[in-house]
Amino acid sequence: MIRISLLIFGVIAGWNTQAQEVPTVDYPQLEEVLEAIEDDAQPVLINFWATWCAPCVAELPYFKKVKEQRTNLTIVFVSLDFPSQKASKLLPFIQENELPGRHFLLDDPAAHEWVSKVDERWSGALPATVFKNGSDQVFHEGKFSDYDELLNFLE
Amino acid sequence: MKKTLLLILGIMVFAMTLQAQMSYEIGSEVEDFTLKNVDGEMVSLSDYDSEGVVIIFTCNHCPYAVKYEDRIIDFHNEYASKGYPVLAINPNDPEVQPEDSFEKMKERAAEKNFPFKYVFDEGQEVYPKFEATRTPHVFLLDNERRIRYVGAIDDNYKDPSKVEVHFLKDAVAALQAGAQPDPAMTKAIGCSIKTK
């Protein structure tokens, strides 16, 4: 009985940690993990978003769909939710909406420095999406108006 | 064939020139505009006879804008008398973001007792000329209403007590000293301007 309880507990605990693996990082840390991810697998799509950002939330289904259709694509979601709302908003949102991919919470107030490092073309408005394939990097600021626009972006 | 190419090239150059004329950059003189303030009065840029004007595209709903509300109030309280009042403009389409309707602007201005004008870019004809993309987004104008600084208020949206560089205040200080702000442009994280 104890063993079964332990087993169930272990499974739940394991499932929980997996579902809630959303490290909080500053920009240098994010840069480091992104480089590792890019070294590991190409192509990579990186989306900057937040649960409170309506246009960001509106385009999430396109990313889910594209991930289902292109299994070789790595998706990284970088949330700009406020760290105080990580447990109450961000984690439940990711879980309920079954967002695929890797997730990070970017907590770095030096936006005047890192916005340009993400992409020179970014003004800093959310949402923003970067797509890297080999040495090519394309950038999109604002919401994708529909799924086709995302597909064109990935061409 | 050559002629056609030249023609296409000519059209492209012409189109690019048009594009360049349509939006402002550092040094551009800002055209006058008239927008409705939360008190119901119409406000024009030309109403201001101050040394400078600090135009801030901002709104009700965006968490970054909210984080900067008190700092914008403090800035205005300190700098309006020095000739640099804030003119806050909500550029968002309330059909896309209902929190940013004119009624809600009035409510927010009353709640926070905004000491500056908070006007509504109804029809969204003003913000595109500035190429404003997000809230908050600051444009500092000099005595000739030329744009001298564009970007962030300071270097820490999260915590005013941890600000190290006061970009906007430094830019004003540069103008007061007769110099060009350096940096003249900074980037900041913000909410995209809501449009259909």
- Asked whether residue B53 is assigned to any structural domain, the reply reads yes
Could you tell me if residue B11 is inside a domain?
A: no
- What are the two backbone dihedrals, phi and then psi, of residue B41, each rounded to the nearest 5 degrees? -80, 150
Does residue B108 belong to any structural domain of this protein?
Answer: yes
Chain B positions with Cβ closer than 8 Å to A = 63, 96-97, 133-134, 151-152, 155-159, 162, 167, 186-194
Residue B7 placed within a domain = no
User: Would you tell me how many other CB atoms lie within 10 Å of the CB of residue A96?
Assistant: 8
| Residue B45: strand, helix, or coil | helix
Q: What's the pLDDT score for residue A42?
A: 87
Q: B93, B164, B187, B194: best mutation site toward chain A, by most A Cβ within 10 Å? A: B187
Average pLDDT over residues A111-115: 96
Could you tell me the residue range of the domain that residue B59 belongs to? 27-192
**Banded pLDDT at B20 (limits 50, 70, 90):** very low
In a domain, B16, yes or no: no
B10 assigned to some structural domain: no
The pLDDT of residue A17 is: 40
On chain A, the residues whose CB falls within 8 A of the CB of B150 are none
DSSP percent split of chain B into helix, strand, coil, nearest 5: 40, 20, 40
What percent of chain A clears pLDDT 70, i.e. is strictly above it?
87
- Could you tell me the CATH number of the domain that includes residue B117? 3.40.30.10
Please give the tally of structural domains in chain B: 1
The pLDDT tens digits for B78-137 are 999 999 999 999 999 999 999 999 999 999 999 999 999 999 999 999 999 999 999 999
